[in-house]
A and B are shown apart, each in its own frame.
Chain A
Amino acid sequence: MTGSGHIISTQAFPVAARKELGDTQLRANLRSATHTIRDKRLRVVSEVDDWEELRLAGAAIKDDVLARLPDLLVQFETVATAAGAVVHWARDAAEACAVVADLVRGTGADEVVKVKSMATQEIGLNDALARAGIAAIETDLAELIVQLADDTPSHILVPAIHYNRTQIRDIFIRRMGGADLSGLTDEPAALAEAARRHLRAKFLAARVGISGANFAVAETGTLVVVESEGNGRMCLTLPETLISVVGIEKLVPTFADLEVFLQLLPRSSTGERMNPYTSMWTGVTAGDGPRQVHIVLVDNGRTSSLADKVGRQALRCIRCSACLNVCPVYERVGGHAYGSVYPGPIGAILSPQLTGQDAGANRTLPFASTLCGACYDACPVRINIPDVLVHLRQSGPKPAAERAGMRAMSWVMRDRRRYAAALRAARRGAAPLRLATRRRGAVRHLPWPLSAWTSSRDAPLPPRQTFREWWAAR
């Protein structure tokens, strides 16, 4: 069964990218933000002597989980249920949304507070709850900014990375109801204070909290949320009912395995040695925290990704977003161009795998990369993203003209005489162009399809003698 929800791009990547490229403010915001996190990450990663061993361990633990997924899921369900949680299973986004909406309805609440969660973004939970008459309040600062702006997140970790603080102040003044914010400055402390006051009332009134989970421990039935602002801790402890939406690949076998990931994740994502808040809970605890604990385990295309021997490594992903921050393509276009809640290099392999390449324009995502390899180097669980990109290009649909061209070129290259004749033809064909160009033998305009090259750069011309002609005459 393939995945659905907010992971299907509706516009071909090159088209969507062109629109974003035109926004110079966006480019400046992204450049500044990605370079800041990139540098921070490099600093804290370089101080860990066994970083490469940690990466290997992280990859090995996740591969073990993927190899034993059915057994570990049943183990998790058994233990979590024994600890007082209610475990639900959802095959796709629609099922998961329906389960959550029913659970909230059952409490009689018409408002929920949310911990930042990619799984709930993926399944489009906020929209589904709105249709059921339930308001979902995002409490992570950046998610709140995006929600107030009626926008969508553009980064896994920093959803409002495309805004600078002046833009954020304007969004608060326009959209944050209640208090008088007319004197609000764009000082980070002032912005945080405004958000705090706005959210405090929501936390105290909430009867239902909704979260995802960074990790789910099969051995103990424990869920783990890693965060920076403390909003998560409020949502996880104050409401009577807690509903957590968890992708089935979030499992780790044992509690001790968290040792590896709690080192890998904060350094890779926020560039911190340790994240400020790590919350762990196991079912219901008498006299402490929520009375009702629900866990919704979501497949949404993960099982079909698991069937792909090369592609399944994408399911190791711990959503740190290090690959986004080092990606030269992401840096230029931002997250919206990818049309999915998973942008950047990981999104380019994850979205088409979860949905199948026929969904929307997702088949264009594996081509949204130069294969520069920066993402693979940064990935804390060693997902070989360039390899998976090439694999998806291989298995995806191909334009007929391109296929014909590739076949013809391969046919020419298979025979020395054909190849040498093609080189001679190219050299001769360029002769009139050489006469027509004055500037260093470079061409400014070529006809289609080579015009895609000369649209932004001059093209070189072949010299009068190929290498093999020179060698033969030597």
Chain B
Amino acid sequence: MTPVRIALFVTCVNDLMFPQTGRAVVGLLERLGHTVEFPVEQTCCGQMHANSGYREEALPLVRRFAGTFAAYEAIVAPSGSCVAMVRESYPRLWAGAAGVAARTYELSELLVDVLGVTDVGAAFPHRVTYHPTCHGLRLLRLGDKPLRLLREVRGIDLVELPGAEECCGFGGTFAVKNAGVSAAMLADKCAAVTGTGAGYVAAVDNSCLAHIGGGLSRAGRAARTIHYAEILAAT
């Protein structure tokens, strides 16, 4: 495999709250022989602004992202919803972002489609269930790419999550604007996770996982959340 120079868009949520996910992506890609760069000018993709109806406030962030990553051939982010924002919404918000948008990948797309690997040499001897997050599933159409990567992990006991494709109830500002409905959806998702007996619930989005993890922790459940990049980085 020819080494590829890859720019990491860590996302603002991961930068502050889940830096271990960013570290996992760096470790994983370097282990596979690629060079990872972190353009420090990056901030936030503007998804929350755009999806909440603040297009004017999102636009400067769209331009900023396009400028920051203009020089890179491949941009990777460990988030389905942020990549969906960049790839699906950016070109419609600002035509100038179309080129960068097309070169921005969610981690499993980069690994499976661009780099052509499914066995990344990881080991994770735990029972894991996988929740496909909505924007990864229905906007990016990731399909089973994250699962194909997880299935190759040594020692993993991957169990199916009942009702996997149902939304967990996070929905960005929905989680606070419609907290009651969000909590009802969360309760069902947590029950499904608990029912699998898995020690970990994995996903491609830490924002959804923060919501699910908060629900599991509040209910006193033992299952923990983990970004799937951290499983792929584990050896």
Give A contacts to B, CB under 8 Å: 13-14, 17-18, 21, 27, 328-329, 332-333, 367-374, 376-377, 390, 392-396, 398, 402-403, 406-407, 409-410, 413-416, 419, 423, 426-427, 439-440, 442, 444, 449, 452-460, 462-463, 465-472
Contact = CB atoms under 8 A, between A and B. Distances in A.
B176 A452 contact: yes
B97 to A, nearest CB: 16
Nearest to B15: A467
B186 A371 contact: no
B215 to A, nearest CB: 5
Given A370-B174, A414-B43, A414-B64, A390 B50 contact: yes
Given A17-B181, A398-B53, A467 B166 contact: no
Contacts of A463: 17, 19-20
21 contacts: A27-B184, A328-B167, A329-B185, A370-B171, A398-B54, A409-B57, A413-B64, A419-B44, A440-B224, A452-B175, A456-B179, A456-B180, A457-B215, A457-B217, A458-B214, A462-B17, A463-B20, A465-B19, A466-B16, A467-B22, A467-B23
A45 B205 CA distance: 30
Given A373-B139, A416-B43, 16 more contacts: A370-B167, A372-B134, A373-B137, A392-B53, A406-B49, A410-B61, A413-B64, A440-B217, A444-B218, A452-B175, A455-B179, A460-B214, A466-B19, A467-B14, A467-B16, A471-B26
B176 A328 contact: no
B101 to A, nearest CB: 16
A332 B19 contact: no
A329 B181 contact: yes
Interface of B: 10, 12, 14-17, 19-20, 22-23, 26, 38, 40-44, 46, 48-55, 57-58, 60-61, 64, 134-135, 137-139, 165-167, 169-186, 210-211, 213-215, 217-218, 224
Contact of B174 (A369, A460, A469): A369
Contacts of B17: 460, 462-463
Contacts of A395: 53
Contact of B138 (A27, A373, A398, A468): A373
A367 B177 contact: yes
Contacts of A457: 183, 186, 211, 214-215, 217-218
Nearest to B52: A393
A444 B17 CA distance: 17
A14 B52 CA distance: 16
Contacts of A454: 214
The 3 closest A-B pairs by CB, nearest first: A370-B171, A457-B214, A393-B53
Contacts of B40: 416, 468, 471-472
B54 A410 contact: yes
A458 B218 contact: yes
B214 A413 contact: no
Contact of A21 (B60, B176, B180): B180
Contacts of A14: 177-181
B213 to A, nearest CB: 7
Greatest chain B CB density within 10 A among A14, A372, A414, A449 is at: A372
A393 B213 CA distance: 28
A110 B174 CA distance: 48
A363 to B, nearest CB: 11
A457 B15 CA distance: 22
Contacts of B211: 457
Contact of A370 (B14, B60, B170): B170
